[in-house]
Structure 1
């Protein structure tokens, strides 16, 4: 009895102490306020960096707004706290609570169109990067530790990672939705409409954070990089960004017709057990969890050329020379395939007008050397381009620890991304990595940046498209 009482008192004391510590931490929090077009945001400032989390950039895409372009926010009353991340968009998660392949665990919500802002506390017309995460277009979130923008902010750049819709909530077309749509409504590509809405939010509001709406880079990795490729030919995105970064996602695919997209949507609806004559209202009643959990719908099914929001594929726009002409930085890692595709994008994007820069990331940190035997795997560059090893899940889950050599490479690689963000859009070279001049790629010059434990310019033809294939039996 006394033993139980003592344990109870101890638990109470621990709880009281924890509450007191939390209260003390909150009391010490230094806040900062910014007024955007929908109201006042209250974030926090620490060590020269202002951070705002869970900032809405559009109305929740729920109910009648599911499978529609994002709607502009109404103004809120009073001040809105922006200290915590909001749940990511619906996606398959592991039942044991471990992160899925996109780094996400825990609660998700269809109300997910939120972003974060990392800004220098004294920013004045600072360059801006809007970040689109990877995850196969059906996994991931903008708040993950690899995308922490603290280092960028300390180097004078505002970083804005966003959430965008995933899976079938992002990429879905169906005859019933087409029939119910207004004459200007997009008929698919809803993740891309989210990206454009976020870029519009940046144009309207980033000056309030000290940013320059005339120097915005749209950047992404993997599926996010593929979105950047598509944004190069989206008419409504023109003028909203001024540079582009494509990390391990140089996909130039032909456009999908509406007929093909709707056919795939019909098949997906059948897989959900819905009738052939299903209505738009009935489709919108299917739970987001069902869409994310069902194998036939979790990844999304369509990315059409609808003739409204998306009028041409970027592959065709590049051939015709009608793409949005901005500087492009594109590349891949040496432990994954894709360098040849990156060079193709650099060749097409940099053939006239704005320049294109080509890179290959080939550094394996000490704490992953026993695992990444064939080179830097897909996504390995993220904690270096952001210089975010202290918050990245790649580093925190490693058996070893980050050493000084790893940190030096993080600063070196990040300096090149920072230089690109700050670069004049008319430039054909820039300097980074302690004095290395990085020229724009041309087929004649064939220059590419290779990142090992240092940065050096090499001929791109000397870089294989990916790791060597393992020998097969009898070869």
Structure 2
């Protein structure tokens, strides 16, 4: 049999070679969630006869086109479709060897994104680290996170968390099949960024995902990111159904409305509509970070971190942030993330760079509330249960857009994947000379963590200590990477009013 042909539980697949790395693309891990299966949990795929070609990416799931992010993250060449539950695999060889497996869950606010973006190409990981990389698609937006509660009967009660259930189904597929691709089903690390890290935070807390992975990496996200209460989610659902002309209980219309029309109706409600996991009492029984505090993932090592200036990225999608004066900024921030204590306002005023514009000074509040706080709570919960925790902060500042973005959200992605050469990356990352060295440090640290649960090795300029309740150390990736003790301590204390 050709080296690129592998036998899975569902049938044979033919992949392609990319240099020294084997790639299998567009592998179905679930039945297409179309027709009668729309808004239902994923089911295992059908088996096939003969050899199925796995040489081209499958469709991406239904999603809007996003000019800014798709421009930055590499335009998608695959058409969106409701039939989008596919995964992709990179491996040094399908030779029966048991290599560590890295499963990537992409970000994109649970609104857009795919496992086939060139930014997430797994070739460098497979080549440099002798590991197997899997990237997945999962249902998003109205198709993956429309909380239907009891509006359409028991069958649809899990519709608010279908994207998460898709991820569990993909992990189950990996557990059952990855040995055929040269991977070790008992040494799986899940990693994700933004909404992907929020997904990892949820998966850590889910009993259904237990045993499907051994380690977890959360880049710029946690189980609290984009999490919704059933009340908030239901209010949003009712607005979407009304706009789409679907009456509660009208299952016929729910299943027959064209996918494009349903997505358009949801998008027409504007940017106030947020998607994400729902604490629905069924799939998600409680807040994921509270579950971690009670030991839901007690034996699982995590690597977790943020970029220094996360929220600056969102000035690209919403430039109005940059036009507001100090009082308007603080008013808007209070509306978006709740009241800011006096001690925190003092902290941001005192620690701002003197030359920084108002919006940069105060958007640090958004970075803390949306990204840093959940990271700290997750790290504390895991460390309290004796799990190894490694924390990082990414400080490389991009020179593009006049330098306004600094070390913004998503900037670390091409460093982690060692994909600085991919199309579109330089438009976002710039070409500062230190970027290659930082990419080496991060990429090999992630590989070491996936192999052993410890990111240390010769690739780092100094040892990266674990984050513990006694020593809240973090590794700072920058032109001169180094360890800092409790770099978020003063900021955290200010939020606690001390």
**Under a length normalisation based on structure 2, what TM-score does the superposition of the two structures give?**
0.78
Distance 1:447 1:98 in 2: 32
Question: Is 2:488 the counterpart of 1:457?
Answer: no
What does residue 153 of structure 2 align with? 179
Report if aligned partners of 2:224, 2:288 keep a CA contact under 8 Å in 1.
yes
Alignment of 1:81-160 (within 5 A): 81-93=53-65, 99=70, 103-105=74-76, 107-121=79-93, 124-154=97-127, 155-160=129-134
Distance 1:123 1:48 in 2: 17
What does residue 15 of structure 1 align with? none
Structure 2: gaps (5+ residues): 311-366, 493-498
Q: Secondary structure at the match of 2:15?
A: strand
Alignment of 1:386-397 (within 5 A): 386-395=417-426, 397=427
Summarize the Cα distance change of 1:314–1:323 in structure 2 as closer, same or farther, 3 Å threshold.
farther
Summarize the Cα distance change of 1:127–1:112 in structure 2 as closer, same or farther, 3 Å threshold.
same
What does residue 364 of structure 1 align with? 397
* CA shift for structure 1 position 409: 2.1
What does residue 419 of structure 1 align with? 448
Distance 1:464 1:130 in 2: 35
Alignment of 1:42-441 (within 5 A): 42-93=14-65, 99=70, 103-105=74-76, 107-121=79-93, 124-154=97-127, 155-175=129-149, 178-181=152-155, 186-252=158-224, 256=228, 258=230, 261-275=233-247, 277-294=248-265, 295=267, 296=269, 303-323=277-297, 325-336=299-310, 337=367, 338-364=371-397, 368=399, 371-395=402-426, 397=427, 402=431, 405-424=434-453, 430-434=456-460, 436-441=462-467
Q: Secondary structure at the match of 1:136?
A: coil
Distance 1:172 1:123 in 2: 41
* CA shift for structure 1 position 177: 5.3
Summarize the Cα distance change of 1:37–1:465 in structure 2 as closer, same or farther, 3 Å threshold.
farther
What does residue 361 of structure 2 align with? none
**Under a length normalisation based on structure 1, what TM-score does the superposition of the two structures give?**
0.82
* CA shift for structure 1 position 41: 0.7
1:170-192 C-alpha deviation (Å, 9 max, x unpaired): 1012256541518xx63420100
1:62-83 C-alpha deviation (Å, 9 max, x unpaired): 1111111111011111111111
Comparing 35-44 with 337-346, greater Cα deviation is found at 337-346
Q: Secondary structure at the match of 1:80?
A: strand
* CA shift for structure 1 position 146: 1.3
Distance 2:462 2:423 in 1: 27
Distance 1:390 1:123 in 2: 31
Summarize the Cα distance change of 1:31–1:123 in structure 2 as closer, same or farther, 3 Å threshold.
closer
Summarize the Cα distance change of 1:354–1:226 in structure 2 as closer, same or farther, 3 Å threshold.
same
Report if aligned partners of 1:33, 1:42 keep a CA contact under 8 Å in 2.
yes
What does residue 470 of structure 2 align with? 444
Report if aligned partners of 1:329, 1:358 keep a CA contact under 8 Å in 2.
yes
What does residue 6 of structure 1 align with? none
What does residue 327 of structure 2 align with? none
What does residue 337 of structure 2 align with? none
Summarize the Cα distance change of 1:146–1:137 in structure 2 as closer, same or farther, 3 Å threshold.
same
Distance 1:446 1:90 in 2: 41
How many residues in Structure 1 have an aligned counterpart in Structure 2? 426
* CA shift for structure 1 position 222: 0.6
* CA shift for structure 1 position 271: 1.9
What does residue 346 of structure 2 align with? none
Greater C-alpha Rg: 1
Summarize the Cα distance change of 1:252–1:172 in structure 2 as closer, same or farther, 3 Å threshold.
same
Distance 2:150 2:282 in 1: 17
Report if aligned partners of 1:253, 1:313 keep a CA contact under 8 Å in 2.
no
1:376-430 C-alpha deviation (Å, 9 max, x unpaired): 21111000001011225322x4696x57642232112101111110114xx6x73
Q: Secondary structure at the match of 1:224?
A: helix
1:246-302 C-alpha deviation (Å, 9 max, x unpaired): 101134269755455444322321122333x44223212122212322323995656
Distance 2:57 2:227 in 1: 35
Summarize the Cα distance change of 1:380–1:258 in structure 2 as closer, same or farther, 3 Å threshold.
closer
Distance 2:69 2:486 in 1: 39
Distance 1:312 1:144 in 2: 32
Report if aligned partners of 1:89, 1:109 keep a CA contact under 8 Å in 2.
yes
* CA shift for structure 1 position 101: 7.3
What does residue 341 of structure 2 align with? none
Distance 1:97 1:385 in 2: 22
Summarize the Cα distance change of 1:257–1:66 in structure 2 as closer, same or farther, 3 Å threshold.
same
Distance 2:155 2:488 in 1: 51
Alignment of 1:32-43 (within 5 A): 32-43=4-15
Distance 2:481 2:51 in 1: 46
